[in-house]
Amino acid sequence: MINRILEPEVMESSEEAMAYDSMDHHAVNIQFVQDLIAAGCPDRGSVLDLGTGTAQIPIELCRMLPAIRIVGIDLSVEMLVLAEKNIAASPFKEKIRTEKLDAKKISDQAEQYDVCVSNSIVHHIPVPADVFSQAVQVTRPGGLLFWRDLVRPESDAEVRHLVQTYAGQENEHQQRLFSDSLYAALRLEEVQDFVANLDFDPASVTQTSDRHWTWSAKK
């Protein structure tokens, strides 16, 4: 079993943000949104997207649920610059708003959102318990929490296999970004422990692909 190796919490450079945005996330994003809707996302209401990155998930969600309203937060200015460009180029400029906020410090927005989603923020967080507890606080009673992130592989060989399988067509820098994220990811059991400590059923966290876990729960 390999140990967790933290990567930088925030993508500070425009080069890294552009490298991330240009990677082919389309199929993964579509699957995320379809699974979110299947989990009970309302067709209208308010959604908070933690670690929105370049806003690819909010745009896809608005395509499928045009009446939804989304706030996407991120700590990376460079990511948000690209997010605003992507939103401006979409038909959903009035539906999506971005803010530079730390997902570990949002409790002042207690119970403001019907849905709290996150795709791949957890592996960036040094102490993930912080962001789990904040997310629960900002979700309304009866609201949906739907998160997905990478599962840390068991071996270096598995990391190499996953990088080749899912990023083999990308350039060397993009492959390194994916590899670093795999090493920074959590084990399934660690995520289950985090949600159990917040009085959620640990069985609400499941492994949903060869490289992803998903947490789906009602508050």
> What are the backbone angles phi and psi of residue 143, rounded to the nearest 5°?
-75, 170
**Three-state SS for 162?**
helix
Domains and CATH numbers, the chain: 14-151+186-218 (3.40.50.150)
Residues 166, 167, 169, 170, Cα dihedral to 10°: 160
For residue 99 the two structure tokens come to 């803010």
How do the pLDDT tens digits run along the chain, 219 residues long?
Answer: 899 999 988 777 787 777 777 777 889 999 999 999 999 999 999 999 999 999 999 999 999 999 999 999 999 999 999 999 999 999 999 999 999 999 999 989 999 999 999 999 999 999 999 999 999 999 999 999 999 999 999 999 999 999 999 999 999 989 999 999 999 999 999 999 999 999 999 999 999 999 999 999 999
| Predicted TM-score of the model (pTM) | 0.94
Q: With helix as H, strand as E and coil as C, how does 93-136 read?
A: CCCEEEEECCCCCCHHHCCCEEEEEEECCHHHCCCCHHHHHHHH
Q: What's the rounded Cα separation, in Å, for the pair 189 and 99?
A: 32
8 A C-beta contact, residue 124 and residue 184: yes
Residue 17 has what pLDDT? 72
Residue whose pair of structure tokens reads 């400029």 in the numeric block:
93
Question: Count H helices, E strands: the chain?
Answer: 8, 7
Residue 15 has what pLDDT? 78
Q: What's the rounded Cα separation, in Å, for the pair 93 and 83?
A: 11
For residue 216 the two structure tokens come to 């789906």
- Of 117, 138, 142, 144, the closest CA to residue 41 belongs to 144
